[in-house]
Amino acid sequence: MKKKLLLFLRTLNARAYVRIFGQMREATWVVASVLGGFFTMTTYIYLYRTLGTGSEFSGLVVLGGFMTPFFLNVLWGVATQLYWEKEMGNLELMLVSPAPLSAFLVGLSVGGAMHTMLRSLAVLFFGIAVFKVQFTLLHLPLALLVFFVTLFSMYGLGIVFSSLFLYHGRDAWRTADLVMEPTNVLSGSYFPARYLGLGLLGIAALIPTTLGLDALRQLLVPSFTVKVLDWRWELLILIGLGLVFAFIASWALRSVEYKARRDARLTLRWQ
Partner 1 sequence: MHTAIQVENLSRVFNRRGTAPFHALRGVSFDVSYGEIFGLLGPNGAGKTTTIKIMSTLLLPTSGRVTVAGFDVEKDYTHVRPLISLISGGETSGYGILTVEEQLWMFSQFYGMETHVARARIEEYLKVVSMWDSRRQQMNRLSTGMRQKVNLVRGLVTDPKVLFLDEPTLGVDVEASVIIRNIVRDWVREKPERSVILTTHYMAEADELCSRVAIINHGLILANAAPSQLKQDLDSRAHYEITVDRLDGEQLDHITAFMGEGNDLVLGSDKVAKSPMLVAHLMHESDIARLITALAEQGVTLEYMRKLEPTLEDAFLKMVGKRFEDEEETSPVS
3-state SS track over the chain: CHHHHHHHHHHHHHHHHHHHHHHHHCHHHHHHHHHHHHHHHHHHHHHHHHHCCCCHHHHHHHHHHHHHHHHHHHHHHHHCHHHHHHHHCHHHHHHHCCCCHHHHHHHHHHHHHHHHHHHHHHHHHHHHHHHCCCCCCCCHHHHHHHHHHHHHHHHHHHHHHHHHHHHCCCHHHHHHHHHHHHHHHHCCCCCCHHHHCHHHHHHHCCCHHHHHHHHHHHHHCCCCCCCCCCHHHHHHHHHHHHHHHHHHHHHHHHHHHHHHHHHCCCCCCCC
Residues that bind partner 1 (CB under 8 A): 3, 6-7, 10-11, 13-15, 17-18, 21-23, 25-26, 88-90, 92-99, 261-262, 264, 266-269
Minimum separation from the CB atom of position 105 to partner 1 (A): 13
Minimum separation from the CB atom of position 200 to partner 1 (A): 37
Minimum separation from the CB atom of position 100 to partner 1 (A): 9
Cβ closer to partner 1: 129 or 270? Answer: 270
Cβ closer to partner 1: 8 or 173? Answer: 8
C-alpha distances in angstroms, 232 versus 80, 215, 229?
Answer: 32, 8, 8
Minimum separation from the CB atom of position 266 to partner 1 (A): 6
In the chain, the N- to C-terminal Cα span, in Å, equals 36
Cβ closer to partner 1: 17 or 247? Answer: 17
Cβ closer to partner 1: 230 or 263? Answer: 263
Cβ closer to partner 1: 3 or 132? Answer: 3
Minimum separation from the CB atom of position 25 to partner 1 (A): 5
Cβ closer to partner 1: 91 or 237? Answer: 91
Cβ closer to partner 1: 225 or 271? Answer: 271
Cβ-contact 188, 204 below 8 angstroms = yes
Minimum separation from the CB atom of position 13 to partner 1 (A): 7
Handedness of CA 49, 203, 147, 233 (dihedral sign): positive
Minimum separation from the CB atom of position 36 to partner 1 (A): 20
